[in-house]
Amino acid sequence: METQDSALKTNSEWWRGAVIYEVYVRSFLDSNGDGEGDLRGVIEGLSYLERLGVDAIWLTPISPSPNFDSGYDVSDYYGIAPKLGEMADFKHLVADAHERGIRVILDQVYSHSSHLHPWFKESASSRDNPKADWYVWSDPKPDGGPPNNWLGRFGGYAWEWNPVRKQYYLHNFLTEQPDLNLHNAEVRGEILKIMRHWFDLGVDGLRLDVVNFLMHDPELRDNPPAAQEGATNPYYMQAHVYDRSRPENLPFLRQMRDVADQVGDRMLLGEISCDQQVERMAEYTGPGLLHTAYSFELLGQKLNGGHIADAITRAGANGAWPCWAFSNHDVVRVASRWGVTGRVDRIKLLQALLLCLRGTVCLFQGEELGLPHADVPRHHLQDPEAIRFWPNHRGRDGARTPMPWTNEGESLGFSECVGWLPADAAHGPLAISEQEAKEGSILNHARALIQVRKQSAAIRLGSWEVLGADDEWLIFRRVFAEETLVCGFNWGKVPISFECAGKCLAGRVDSGVIHQDQYAIMRVET
């Protein structure tokens, strides 16, 4: 009899059409009562994720880190952060997930490291040590200023002075996150070695943080200004031509893909953070490059059917395979961002829309519950971006608060004590315990839709054809082999015509129309 684990090994393109659940490890479930989620907490939560029906979990960074940026400042690429557990816990998690038919994707940060990483300490110690060129160093201008006008994502110049070397080092993000010099062949070789390390431990895929930031312009040319008005962060006043999305990235992505292919049945998921995001997704998932990539294209401020239709169409150009999400740990949760908090039918419509799109889907922790963005008081903020740009930018902490497992206690079942971020009491009525046995709950709706996607090759793998789109509605066709589906979604006040004979797999149609906050997924009769 074939086990779930052995079945996993038979599908080399398992990532196509998969539903990937993003586990924000620090906020998922605390197993030891220290207020911080951990690997044993993820293990305890696997039964919940199995019932939800997801194909894979994406674990946010679990490597040792001083946590200046919540784990995205790595100080040891080969280890496990002590507060999150031990290597034995990680191996247990991978084995248990595989037994349940769930693959494991691990977040990896190769653009930059922590300033406390031994590599950087050595690099910063002199200009002639063995790792002197492992980071991006440059002499000052004659007036002592930084070598160019590049700005950091979290404010200020992207350069920090080092008095020992008497040079500046590049940091696209925090000063505590110096950029690795991936123009250096030794550094690239070390990154490929790190990839093999985690693949050898059974990891099924790697989520590559800010993958378009890997390389920089070796000439360090100034960025031109951008036509951006009203930006609260000066970073967005530049056109980032020379500090990200460089053509030099692509040859290294091919080397990374070669490593994944050599191991077999492994995937690479890239995060694209830049202008021209849809075109960049298609470029980075071309032949021999990343398997799939996601951007922030559908993580903006408006729900617009025409925009979604155009993005899906362009991102799939030339056979590229995109990945889509409506929320993640870097943006305001979709229920708040698109103004649907408490509107159960609209939240269910958005779940169905996301799960019917062509590509792979990422479902952020808590989206299956319909959670709104949490309100985190200023004195509890952890996000460096929020702290720096308060009050004009509230940051990302509101998306990262503890998962509500129950509607009891100060931490809503996440921990025995107050978490590293406080739980939001408004999440209590939406807790897992409140929704699990409730017929028609947002959670059970998500479960049902994931099953519809699993059982339909047309949704997972099929072609994409837009039949109609406007600001407040969208209709498209998905076809694979002998199966044809027509999917219609209406979030506007005006009913839309939906004359489609066939079996309704989910949603509803009333007398040939779809009313506001209704949707229909129809299998066309042939």
Domains of the chain by start residue, with CATH: 4-111+185-453 (3.20.20.80), 462-524 (2.60.40.1180)
Let me know: does 266 contact 260? Beta carbons within 8 Å.
yes
How far is Cα 269 from Cα 260, in angstroms, rounded to an integer?
A: 11
CA 161, 134, 78: angle at the middle one, nearest 5?
Answer: 115
Token pair in block for residue 455 = 């059982």
Q: What is the dihedral of CA 272, 210, 80, 421, to 10 degrees?
A: -80
pLDDT of residue 9: 52
pLDDT of residue 325: 97
How far is Cα 484 from Cα 477, in angstroms, rounded to an integer?
A: 7
Find the catalytic residue in 179, 243, 271, 368: 271
C-alpha separations of 173 from 154, 158, 165, 179, 435 in Å: 6, 7, 21, 9, 39
Token pair in block for residue 158 = 């992207």
How far is Cα 293 from Cα 212, in angstroms, rounded to an integer?
A: 11
pLDDT of residue 4: 55
Find the catalytic residue in 179, 209, 367, 397: 209
Token pair in block for residue 43 = 């293990």
Helix (H, G, I), strand (E, B) or coil at 130: coil
Token pair in block for residue 263 = 């191991």
Omega of the bond leading into 391 within 30 degrees of 0 (cis): yes
Helix (H, G, I), strand (E, B) or coil at 26: helix
List all residues 6 or more positions away from 47 whose beta carbon is below 8 Å from its beta carbon. Answer: 100
- For tokens 């019917």, the residue is 356
State the CB neighbour count (10 A cutoff) for residue 321: 21
Helix (H, G, I), strand (E, B) or coil at 180: strand
pLDDT of residue 515: 96
Q: Is 38 a catalytic residue?
A: no
Let me know: does 278 contact 311? Beta carbons within 8 Å.
yes
Let me know: does 447 contact 455? Beta carbons within 8 Å.
no
State the CB neighbour count (10 A cutoff) for residue 495: 16
Return per-residue pLDDT of the chain as tens, 526 residues.
344 554 455 568 999 999 999 999 999 999 999 999 999 999 999 999 999 999 999 999 999 999 999 999 999 999 999 999 999 999 999 999 999 999 999 999 999 999 999 999 999 999 999 999 999 999 999 999 999 999 999 889 999 999 999 999 999 999 999 999 999 999 999 999 999 999 999 999 999 999 999 999 999 999 999 977 777 789 999 999 999 999 999 999 999 999 999 999 999 999 998 778 899 999 999 999 999 999 999 998 889 999 999 999 999 888 899 999 999 999 999 999 999 999 999 999 999 999 999 999 999 999 999 999 999 988 888 888 887 877 776 789 999 999 999 999 999 999 999 999 999 999 999 999 999 999 999 999 999 999 999 999 999 999 999 999 999 999 999 999 999 999 999 999 999 999 888 899 999 998 899 999 999 999 997 6
**CA nearest to 476, candidates 325, 357, 314:** 357
HEC readout, 352-411: HHHHHCCCEEEEECCHHHCCCCCCCCHHHCCCHHHHHHCCCCCCCHHHCCCCCCCCCCCC
pTM for this entry: 0.95
Stated as kind and residue range, the H or E segment containing 433 is: helix 432-435
pLDDT of residue 109: 98
Let me know: does 73 contact 61? Beta carbons within 8 Å.
no
How far is Cα 236 from Cα 369, in angstroms, rounded to an integer?
A: 33
How far is Cα 413 from Cα 431, in angstroms, rounded to an integer?
A: 9
pLDDT of residue 8: 53
C-alpha separations of 227 from 7, 150, 274, 366 in Å: 52, 16, 15, 36
DSSP, res 235:
G
How far is Cα 359 from Cα 382, in angstroms, rounded to an integer?
A: 33
Q: Is 209 a catalytic residue?
A: yes
> What sign does the dihedral 195-197-199-205 (CA atoms) show?
negative
How far is Cα 304 from Cα 311, in angstroms, rounded to an integer?
A: 11
pLDDT of residue 5: 53
Token pair in block for residue 178 = 């110096």
